[in-house]
């Protein structure tokens, strides 16, 4: 398959919430996870772990304890993204959740890589205590998100321009508030 331009993947990616039941082959899945592995992180601590979930009962359980996520049980698989604690000497900014930012960057890498391979994803926020317990995640770790992964049931729409706020309303010059 020809690789997709990064700008095209960024612009056209959209949240996919309906999936074909087709299994994602392991080589494709590992391409997606490999993209996550190359995300940046503070001091290169790589504060992320991935739980590959294919069990239907588990997907069903998670879909009950997650937001807008009935669809999750229809996905052929999902990846739970877990943030482990990092070595104390690197965690001086832990209070603001820097490790979670890094894990979120890994998720974005995954989403874009999946999209470039014709695969849909969505960020699903869960009730982390319940989902963490079910997945046997240690209490020291943080369940960041669960990402359903699958081939889109129908061709995903391309968001039109108005789906995002105008850039000019998001930009200041030199100081906050200066247009």
Ligand X SMILES: Cc1cc2nc3c(=O)[nH]c(=O)nc-3n(C[C@H](O)[C@H](O)[C@H](O)COP(=O)(O)O)c2cc1C
Where does this chain bind ligand X (CB under 6 A)? 14-15, 17, 67-69, 122-125, 159
Nearer Cβ to ligand X, position 17 or 41?
17
Least Å from the CB of residue 170 to ligand X = 15
Least Å from the CB of residue 94 to ligand X = 19
Nearer Cβ to ligand X, position 17 or 128?
17
Q: Using CA atoms, how far apart are residues 112 and 95, in angstroms rounded to an integer?
A: 28
Nearer Cβ to ligand X, position 90 or 123?
123
Please enumerate in sequence order all residues whose Cβ is within 8 A of that of 39, keeping only pairs 6 or more positions apart, or say none. Answer: 48, 102, 105, 106, 108, 109
Least Å from the CB of residue 43 to ligand X = 24
Token pair, residue 129, equals 């205590």
User: DSSP letter at 163?
Assistant: G
Nearer Cβ to ligand X, position 25 or 155?
155
Least Å from the CB of residue 89 to ligand X = 28
* Cα–Cα distances in angstroms (integers) from residue 19 to residues 9, 31, 73, in the given order: 19, 19, 10
Nearer Cβ to ligand X, position 91 or 125?
125
Token pair, residue 135, equals 């997945």
Least Å from the CB of residue 123 to ligand X = 4
State the residue for tokens 């989403």: 111
Tell me phi and psi for residue 148, to 5 degrees. -70, 145
Nearer Cβ to ligand X, position 90 or 97?
97
DSSP run (H or E) holding 116: helix 98-116
50 in Cβ contact with 82 (< 8 Å) = yes
Least Å from the CB of residue 61 to ligand X = 16
Q: What share of the chain is helix, strand, coil (3-state, %, to 5)?
A: 40, 15, 40
């Amino acid at each position: 398959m020809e690789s997709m331009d990064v700008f095209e993947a960024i612009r056209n990616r959209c949240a996919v919430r309906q999936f074909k039941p087709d299994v994602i082959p392991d080589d494709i899945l590992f391409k997606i996870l490999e993209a996550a592995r190359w995300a940046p992180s503070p001091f290169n601590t790589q504060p992320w772990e991935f739980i590959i979930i294919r069990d239907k009962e588990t997907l069903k359980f998670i879909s009950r304890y997650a937001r807008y996520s009935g669809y999750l049980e229809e996905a052929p698989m999902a990846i739970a993204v877990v943030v482990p604690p990092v070595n104390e000497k690197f965690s001086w900014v832990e209070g603001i959740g820097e490790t979670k930012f890094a894990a979120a960057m890994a998720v974005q890498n995954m989403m874009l890589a999946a999209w470039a391979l014709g695969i849909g994803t969505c960020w699903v926020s869960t009730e982390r205590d319940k989902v963490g317990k079910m997945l046997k995640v240690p209490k020291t770790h943080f369940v960041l998100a669960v990402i359903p992964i699958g081939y889109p049931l129908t061709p995903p729409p391309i968001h039109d321009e108005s789906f995002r706020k105008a850039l000019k309303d998001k930009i200041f010059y030199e100081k906050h508030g200066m247009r």
